[in-house]
Amino acid sequence: MNRKYPASLIVLMAVFLMAPGVAAENSAPMLRSEFIYKEAPYPECHASTIAQTAGGTMVASWFGGTKEKNPDVCIWVSRLENDKWTEPVNVANGIQPDGTRHPTWNPVLLQAPGKNAPLILYYKVGPSPQKWWGMQMISKDGGRSWEEPTRLPEGILGPIKNKPVVLPDGTWISPSSTEARRTDWQVHFEISKDQGNTWRKAGPVKKGAGFDAIQPSVLVMKDGRLEALCRTRQGVIAMTWSADNGETWSPLSALALPNPNSGTDAVTLSDGRQLLIYNHSAHRADRSGRGVRYPLKLALSDDGLNWTPVLTLEDQPLPEGYAYPAIIQTSDGLVHITYTWDRKRIKYTVIDPSKL
């Protein structure tokens, strides 16, 4: 079905597609950039996530296998120890009690707040995004070992790509979404008031001008409002707002940044600024609708509405591009990023946000 979009949205997209790079961009904020691994027992990887444990260790996870959607795709984990990433370990697969095997998808790490709180790994299992279900695993030793996986309650998918956010009052907001059909994407949120023991659903978010959106990330504004930024099929990043701690959300509307139908992530910095990582392109080039996933950029905002690209992480064309970034700020104030590099490796980058 062909949808008509407001003329203002079309103009907005054209402006940002033609805009040159921002002259103020430089590499000074980049402190470290490396591959987490160079060789692996699988040809393809994707959908990384990163967290800092209660003890201060960095942990990353992703899915890897023959190819996305293949039953042999598993969840892998690596830890940054003695300034080196450990050999990735296979921690979860989709083997069912009856022997049936499904692919795993989109791991998301969350270090629960508290001195002795566990590290939680959320992920999906199922033959497709239309049929997958949510799973979780718990580590009580910073990701060295994991308890047996458990299935999330019926109707709760867990965070679809990006990390949950813990609000000042202790509420957990898990950004989620569904893909009932390729042309029916919807964003919703899952809320927990008891540290992730039970969940309830908020949404779905209204599509506004007809946005098909998934994979939100949650930001916290200085005035306490929440903003969620979403991947769309319409060539732009979409936003939605909540003034009641995630209970209700405004209809989706366009952010003044392009999106090539690719995952994004964002984080609220300790100084109150908002930092977004995304592919600055709206060109959709293949039959799947997946776009040109480069360049990979960072953009900053003070208000969640006006965004300025401030740093280009990758800009050289690759067949599969640079995709599905994850971004966090650690206790020392630095920003840590992981992303898919050509579907062959996971790249890790550290940024000093004070230099952005």
pLDDT for 59 beyond 60: yes
Q: Is 204 in a helix, a strand, or coil? A: coil
pLDDT for 207 beyond 60: yes
pLDDT for 17 beyond 90: no
Q: What is the CA radius of gyration of the chain?
A: 19
pLDDT for 91 beyond 60: yes
Q: How far is residue 223's CA from residue 200's CA, in Å, rounded to a whole number?
A: 25
Residue 95 in contact with residue 104, Cβ under 8 Å? no
- The pLDDT value recorded for residue 183 is 73
Residue whose entry in the numeric block shows the structure tokens 């950039």 = 33
pTM over 0.85: yes
pLDDT, mean over the chain: 92
Helices (H), the chain: 7-18
Closest CA to 181 of 130, 125, 131: 130
- The pLDDT value recorded for residue 284 is 60
Residue whose entry in the numeric block shows the structure tokens 């003044």 = 256
Identify residue 251 by its one-letter amino acid code.
Answer: P
329 CB-near residues (< 8 Å, 6+ apart): 267, 269, 270, 275, 335, 336, 353
Q: Sort 248 into a burial class: Cβ within 10 Å, 0-12 / 13-18 / 19+.
A: middle
pLDDT for 300 beyond 50: yes
Residue 282 in contact with residue 259, Cβ under 8 Å? yes
Residue 79 in contact with residue 143, Cβ under 8 Å? yes
- Under DSSP, the state recorded for 18 is H
Residue 242 in contact with residue 224, Cβ under 8 Å? no
Residue whose entry in the numeric block shows the structure tokens 């060295």 = 144
- Rounded mean pLDDT of 80-99? 97
Residue 163 in contact with residue 140, Cβ under 8 Å? no
Q: Model confidence over 27-41: pLDDT tens digits?
A: 689 999 999 999 999
Cα→Cα distances 141→146, 179, 338, Å: 8, 34, 22
Residue 202, CA atoms < 13 Å, CB-side half-sphere? 19
Closest CA to 326 of 310, 305, 346, 345: 346
Q: How far is residue 252's CA from residue 230's CA, in Å, rounded to a whole number?
A: 9
Q: How far is residue 64's CA from residue 90's CA, in Å, rounded to a whole number?
A: 9
Q: Model confidence over 110-120: pLDDT tens digits?
A: 999 998 999 99
What are the boundaries of each domain within the chain? 30-351
The matching CATH number, chosen from 3.30.70.580, 2.120.10.10, 3.40.30.10, 2.40.50.180, for 30-351 is 2.120.10.10
Residue whose entry in the numeric block shows the structure tokens 């099929």 = 233
- The pLDDT value recorded for residue 285 is 53
- Rounded mean pLDDT of 195-215? 97
pLDDT for 233 beyond 90: yes
